[in-house]
Structure 1
């Protein structure tokens, strides 16, 4: 299996990517979504409402109505509250809860690197979620990796190398789970910095 990953500035673009992956026949159990919900934007707050106030981590494994039907809420240190579903979210949640070695920073970054995502990209993805973005991952057979990556890219994804350069130009060196999550104002400034198409 190979992991393909896409970071999105818009929850709507990410959820469209999830739907496109499912439409291409990739099982919901092999797709994950992790979206920052700390700014109460309409798109992520609607997802949070769909998750339900009492949604537990068991909901992260997905559901019979597709991946997005299994959304749940959790908090990742350094990122803050997220709306999440799927195998990556469940792995990251286990690390945050202390069930996986590596601590909170290892939660999201460790889950990504353990699934084959380069560590430099994993840091960009975690920082992107911290700054208000949404991460979509899919585990696919090697022969479907190119197709799945194309689906993500066609859904208005963020080029991780370009975003890393932008972050580094401001002095960023890597995701740091000990930092405070971005505030609503900081997320709004970040969204203005990268207008969504």
Structure 2
């Protein structure tokens, strides 16, 4: 089964370094996306199975100068992907949200549903399958 692994980095430079390491480890470049602008990021993440709360947290991270990496990989690759992201300095999304809330950020808590595996550093969701007829 294909999984979607999402993570937040301090900057596009940090995210790019992580993406390069993932490519060196054999993850195809077309399965790695880096987002450094918030435009359309939340709907894209939600389409990939990320909870609404996490999607808006990632958007807030990008608004504050960070970058999001989205990696699509097989179950067998998840551990390696998470390890590489950790080594490259992925931010703890839960910690970031706590800091932002202390500054007044509210996120989108009204409609929030937790993700499947909401670890502090990365989020791992089953990748939504495209319906027949979608390409």
- TM-score between the two structures when normalised by the length of structure 1: 0.51
Q: Is the 8 A contact 1:11 1:35 kept in 2?
A: yes
Q: Per-residue displacement from partner, 1:32-85 (whole Å, max 9, x unpaired)?
A: 00124xxxxxxxxxxxxxxxxxxxxxxxxxxxxxxxxxxxxxx82xxxxxxxxx
Q: Is the 8 A contact 1:2 1:115 kept in 2?
A: no
Match of 1:148 in 2: 81
2:101 paired with 1:174: no
Q: Is the 8 A contact 1:6 1:153 kept in 2?
A: no
2:28 paired with 1:27: yes
Runs of 4+ residues over 4 Å off in structure 1: none
Q: How far apart, CA to CA, are the structure 1 residues paired with 2:26 and 2:78?
A: 13
Match of 1:13 in 2: 14
Q: Per-residue displacement from partner, 1:80-107 (whole Å, max 9, x unpaired)?
A: xxxxxxxxxxxxxxxxxxxxxxxxxxx2
Match of 2:68 in 1: 135
Q: Is the 8 A contact 2:35 2:41 kept in 1?
A: no
Aligned-residue offset at 1:10:
2.4
Q: Which runs of 5+ in 1 are unaligned?
A: 37-74, 77-106, 176-197
> What is the aligned-residue RMSD (CA, Å)?
1.5
Q: How far apart, CA to CA, are the structure 2 residues paired with 1:150 and 1:26?
A: 13
Q: Is the 8 A contact 1:2 1:139 kept in 2?
A: yes
Q: How far apart, CA to CA, are the structure 2 residues paired with 1:6 and 1:12?
A: 14
Q: How far apart, CA to CA, are the structure 2 residues paired with 1:22 and 1:158?
A: 20
Aligned positions, number? 107
Aligned-residue offset at 1:172:
0.7
